Amino acid sequence: MRLVVDLNKCQGYAQCAFLAPDVFAMHGEESLIYNPRAEEEQRERLARAVAACPVQAITADGLDRAGEVREAPDGR
């Protein structure tokens, strides 16, 4: 699954790093680094991270901002 974080929005609340630690990690106190290509088995954790982000900065394939799984528009 592809994802991108709008790091202008990100304020380092680290919710994603707790909920999906294989995808997101804090680097220092408030910098976020992440893997833009998450494994498929991370889908549920990623969905929780997308939903939990206080500033709604995460966009992922097939997940809307409420963290619900929607149909991937082009089959990814």
Among positions 12, 14, 15, 52, the unique one binding other proteins when judged by CB under 8 A:
12
In whole angstroms, how close is the CB of 54 to other proteins at the nearest point?
10
Contacts of 8 (CB under 8 A, 6+ apart): none
Residue with tokens 């997101």: 24
The tokens for 2 are: 């592809």
Q: What is the C-alpha separation between 42 and 49, in angstroms, rounded?
A: 10
The answer to whether residue 56 forms part of the interface with other proteins (CB under 8 A) is no
The answer to whether residue 74 forms part of the interface with other proteins (CB under 8 A) is yes
Q: What are the residues binding other proteins (CB under 8 A)?
A: 1-4, 6-8, 10-12, 25, 27-31, 33-37, 59-61, 73-74, 76
